[in-house]
C-alpha cells in the first residue's frame, strides 16, 4: 500500500464523546477546485475523515467507476454544479467502517453502494447520511456493485416507465455498446424483449458483435446497415415501440424512422453533440413521442419510493443470477487516476470499456 | 344562380320506393382524379344525388372552407389518400334536405356540420351517414359553423389533452395568426390562460397585432423579438407549460427555449417544411416532452366519446356567446373556386385569411 491510514475500531465500551473523537480515518481523495480538463484540474490529496454524525455512516470505498457524466461535471458542462473544493465521483461500492449512534439497520462490515449523485465517491473514506447508502449482498460482484446505481438503473427505468412492453416486443437502441446499452440488452433478454442494437462501424466489429450477442442482443447493426436492413420486413420482428438514444443527430433520426406508430424515443445521452431532429410528419401522423430521461432527477423525485427499492432488488437479483453482468471494464489503481481520466475521455473509453478506480492501492 | 338544380320535397303520401326514386338532387361538385396542383387537377362537374339510404341524410351544403390540409390532400402530400375520382373538401355546414327512413333525431331543415375527414364537402349536395353529422343551432354563425370541426377542435384538444393547465398559466405558440392560432388565443382567453403569440415580421404588423389583441392575445412577438424578449423576466408571466408549434425549424426551437421544465411542445403543422430540432439537454435535463397532434386520428379514436360531444357543446357555446369567433375569412362563390385554391396556397392564404366556398352561387 503506497499510503497508510488508520482504522479505529468502534468499541461500545467508550463513551459516545470519546468514541467520536477517536474515530478518525486517514486516506486520500480526488479533489478539484475549478472546472476544466479532468487530468489537469483533479488532484489527489490526503484527507482525514472524522466520526459519523448520529445518522451517518463512514464507508471505506472499494471501487468507484469513472462515468462520462463525471467527466462532464468536472468540465463544468453538467447542469449540477458542485461547491469547490469538490470531491469527484458519483457512484461506487465500499464497506462500512463506522456508523452513527442512531443507526441500527447497518453495521460495520456491511457492503454498501452509494445512492445519490454528487457525494464524491473518489476517495478512500466517505461519510454520508444513512439514507444515501444501500446495503448489498457480498455475493454481488464488485464491478456489478460499483456500477449498479447509474447505468443499470437508467436502463431499467427507460424500459419500464415510457411504454408498456410485453415479452416479444422490440426495443431499438443506438450506442448499444455503451455501459448503459449493455445493461439494456441484458435486461431486455431477461424480460423476453427483443433488441435491435445499432453501433458505429469499426475495425473489430466482429468482436463487438460477438460480445453483444453474448449479452443477449437479438440483432446488431451498424449505422449504415440500419438504413437498408430487412430485419423488420420478414415478419419475425415487430416494429419497436421504444427507441433509446444516447447519440443524437443522424443516428437518432435513423432509429426514429423504425419506431412504430405511437412509440416513444427516449434520449439519455448525446455523444455526437448534435441535437435530436424529428420530422414533423412523424410527430403528427405517426404520433411518436420524444422524451428524455435523467436518472438524477428520477432518483430525487422517487428517493423513498417503493419503485426504487423494487428496482434495486430486481437488478441485484438479476446480477446474482448471472442474468446481468457489469460493463466491460478495466480496474485502475487509485494512484493511476490521471491515466483513467484521460482514457475515459477518448471515444474508446466513452463507448467501450469502463474504467473503475480500485482503492486497495490508494 | 348560374346552375339550377331540382329539389324534390319529401312527401309521406308516396310509397317508400317511389319516394326514393323521386328524391333526386341535381347540382355540382369539385372533383379530382389525380394528385397535383389543385387549380389544375380540381374540376367542377355536374352531379346527381339520389335518395338517402336508411341511415343517411342528404345535406344541401351552404359553406365549406379551404384548409391547408385540403390542399395537401389534393397534392397527394397527405397521409390519407382518397379513391379517385374524389370530391375534395373536409368540412362544412349545410341544411338537411332529406333523411333516411330510420332517422328520427334529424329532420329536413336542420342545420348540420360534417364530422369526418374525407367526406368531400365541396359539393352542393352530400349524402352521408347520420353519424357523420352534428346538428348545430341556427343562431351559430355560418362561418363559425363551417369552420368548427377542424381548427377550433384542434385548438381545444391541444389545450386540454397534453398539460393540465389552470387559470393564469401561460401558453406559447408560433404561427399565431393561423386559423388554429386564432382559436387558441380565444379559447385561452375564455379559460383564463395567458398567451405569448409569435408571428413573422411583416409590413402590416401593427394591424395584425391589433387584430390578435382584439381576440385576447396577452403578448404578441415577432420571431426576432422573441429572442430578446423580457416578458418572462418581470415576474408577471409564468413560463409556458405548453408550446404549440405549426411552423417547425428555427421557429419551433425558439418557442421551445421558453418552455418551462417538464412542459410539452405539441406540433400540429410544419409550415416552414423544416423538422423540429430539440437540444439533447432540453430532453434530459429540462424533461421537455415533444409530441404531435392530428385531429383526424383523435376524432377516429374518439368518434362516439363523451369528450367529443362535450367539446362540440363547449365550442358552440363559446361561439354563440361571442367568446370564440371564426377565422379572418373571405367568402368565395363556388364558381370562383380556382381563384380561392390559388390564394389559399400563397403564404398569405395559409397564414392569414381563410377562403370559404359559398354554395349559394353554385
Residue A55 sits in a domain whose CATH number is: 3.90.180.10
Residue B121 lies in a domain: yes
Overall average pLDDT of the A270-274 stretch: 94
Residue A11 lies in a domain: no
Structure confidence at residue B349 (pLDDT): 45
Considering A274, A296, A318, which residue would you say is the last residue of a domain? Answer: A296
Residues B156 and B278 in one domain: yes
Contact state of B275 with A278 under an 8 Å Cβ cutoff:
yes
Shortest Cα–Cα distance, A245 to chain B (Å): 10
Residues A22 and A90 in one domain: yes
Residue A256 lies in a domain: yes
Question: Which chain A residues touch B if contact means CB-CB below 8 Å?
Answer: 79, 248, 267-270, 275-294, 297
The better pLDDT of the pair B19, A67 is held by A67
Residues B265 and B337 in one domain: no
Residue B84 lies in a domain: yes
Structure confidence at residue B348 (pLDDT): 55
Residues A338 and A356 in one domain: yes
Residues B129 and B175 in one domain: no
Residue in chain B closest to A273 (alpha carbons) equals B280
Shortest Cα–Cα distance, A80 to chain B (Å): 10
Active site residue A355: no
Residues A163 and A289 in one domain: yes
List the single best residue of B162, B180, B270, B283 to mutate versus A (max A Cβ within 10 A). B283
Total domains in the fold of chain B: 2
H/E run at residue B254: helix B249-257
Which among A275, A281, A293 has the least Cβ separation from residue B278? Answer: A275
Of the pLDDT bands very low, low, confident and very high (cuts 50, 70, 90), residue A4 is very low
Residue A260 lies in a domain: yes
Residues A178 and A274 in one domain: yes
Residues A286 and A246 in one domain: yes
Structure confidence at residue A16 (pLDDT): 44
Distance CA A250, CA A265 (A): 14
Q: Are A176 and A184 in contact (CB under 8 A)?
A: yes
Residue B208 lies in a domain: yes
Considering B258, B274, B296, which residue would you say is the last residue of a domain? Answer: B296
Structure confidence at residue B360 (pLDDT): 81
Which residues from B are below 8 Å from A294, CB to CB? 284-285, 287
The better pLDDT of the pair A266, A4 is held by A266
Residue B202 lies in a domain: yes
List the single best residue of B292, B295, B296 to mutate versus A (max A Cβ within 10 A). B292
pLDDT over threshold 60, residue A252: yes
The interface pTM score, or ipTM, of the predicted complex is 0.91
Contact state of B270 with A280 under an 8 Å Cβ cutoff:
yes
Structure confidence at residue A293 (pLDDT): 98
pLDDT over threshold 80, residue A3: no
pLDDT over threshold 80, residue A42: yes
Overall average pLDDT of the A160-168 stretch: 98
Residue A319 lies in a domain: no
Contact state of A292 with B282 under an 8 Å Cβ cutoff:
yes
Residues B155 and B292 in one domain: yes
Residues B291 and B190 in one domain: yes
Contact state of B285 with A279 under an 8 Å Cβ cutoff:
no
Shortest Cα–Cα distance, A79 to chain B (Å): 7
Structure confidence at residue A2 (pLDDT): 38
Contact state of A79 with B281 under an 8 Å Cβ cutoff:
yes
Contact state of A280 with B279 under an 8 Å Cβ cutoff:
no
Residue B143 lies in domain? 16-147+326-361
Overall average pLDDT of the A242-268 stretch: 97
Residues B140 and B174 in one domain: no
Residue B166 sits in a domain whose CATH number is: 3.40.50.720
In sequence order, what are the residues at sequence separation of 6 or more whose Cβ sits closer than 8 angstroms to the Cβ of residue A16?
Answer: A101
Of A106-120, A291-305, B4-18, B147-161, least confident by mean pLDDT is: B4-18
Residues A105 and A125 in one domain: yes
Over chain B (362 residues), the average pLDDT of each successive run of 10 is 39 42 82 97 94 95 95 94 96 97 96 95 96 97 97 98 98 96 98 97 93 97 92 88 97 97 97 96 98 97 95 98 95 93 70 84 64
CB crowding A133-165: b at 16 or more within 10 Å, else e: bbebeeebebbbbbbbbbbbbbbbbbbeebbeb
Which residues from B are below 8 Å from A275, CB to CB? 277-280
Amino acid at each position: 500500500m503506497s499510503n497508510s491510514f488508520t482504522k479505529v475500531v468502534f468499541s461500545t465500551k467508550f463513551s459516545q464523546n470519546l468514541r467520536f473523537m477517536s474515530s478518525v480515518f486517514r486516506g486520500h481523495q480526488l479533489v478539484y477546485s475549478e472546472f476544466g480538463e479532468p487530468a489537469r484540474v483533479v488532484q489527489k490529496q490526503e484527507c482525514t475523515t472524522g466520526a459519523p454524525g448520529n445518522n451517518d455512516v463512514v464507508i471505506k470505498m472499494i471501487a468507484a467507476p469513472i462515468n462520462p457524466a463525471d467527466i462532464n461535471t468536472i468540465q463544468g458542462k453538467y447542469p449540477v454544479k458542485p461547491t469547490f473544493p469538490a470531491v469527484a465521483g458519483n457512484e461506487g461500492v465500499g464497506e462500512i467502517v463506522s456508523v452513527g449512534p442512531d443507526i441500527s439497520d447497518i453495521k460495520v462490515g456491511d457492503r454498501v453502494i452509494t445512492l445519490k449523485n454528487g457525494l464524491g465517491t473518489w476517495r478512500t473514506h466517505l461519510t454520508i447520511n444513512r439514507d444515501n447508502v444501500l446495503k448489498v449482498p457480498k455475493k454481488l460482484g464488485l464491478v456489478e456493485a460499483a456500477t449498479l446505481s447509474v447505468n443499470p438503473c437508467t436502463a431499467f427505468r427507460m424500459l419500464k416507465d415510457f411504454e408498456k412492453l410485453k415479452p416479444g416486443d422490440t426495443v431499438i437502441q443506438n450506442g448499444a455498446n455503451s455501459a448503459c446499452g449493455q445493461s439494456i440488452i441484458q435486461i431486455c433478454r431477461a424480460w423476453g424483449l427483443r433488441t435491435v442494437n445499432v453501433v458505429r462501424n469499426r475495425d473489430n466489429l466482429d468482436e463487438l458483435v460477438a460480445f453483444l450477442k453474448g449479452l443477449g442482443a437479438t440483432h446488431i447493426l451498424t449505422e449504415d446497415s440500419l438504413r437498408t436492413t430487412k430485419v423488420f420486413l420478414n415478419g419475425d420482428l415487430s416494429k419497436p415501440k421504444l427507441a433509446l438514444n444516447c447519440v443524437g443527430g443522424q443516428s437518432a433520426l435513423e432509429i426514429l424512422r423504425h419506431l412504430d406508430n405511437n412509440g416513444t424515443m427516449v434520449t439519455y445521452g448525446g455523444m455526437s453533440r448534435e441535437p435530436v431532429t424529428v420530422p414533423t410528419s412523424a410527430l403528427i401522423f405517426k404520433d411518436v413521442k420524444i422524451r428524455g430521461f435523467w436518472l438524477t432527477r428520477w432518483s430525487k423525485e422517487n428517493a423513498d419510493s417503493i419503485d426504487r427499492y423494487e428496482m434495486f432488488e430486481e437488478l441485484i437479483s438479476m446480477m446474482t443470477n448471472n442474468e446481468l453482468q457489469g460493463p466491460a471494464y478495466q480496474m485502475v489503481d487509485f494512484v493511476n487516476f490521471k491515466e483513467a481520466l484521460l482514457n475515459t475521455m477518448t471515444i474508446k473509453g466513452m463507448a467501450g470499456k469502463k474504467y473503475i478506480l480500485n482503492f486497495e492501492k490508494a
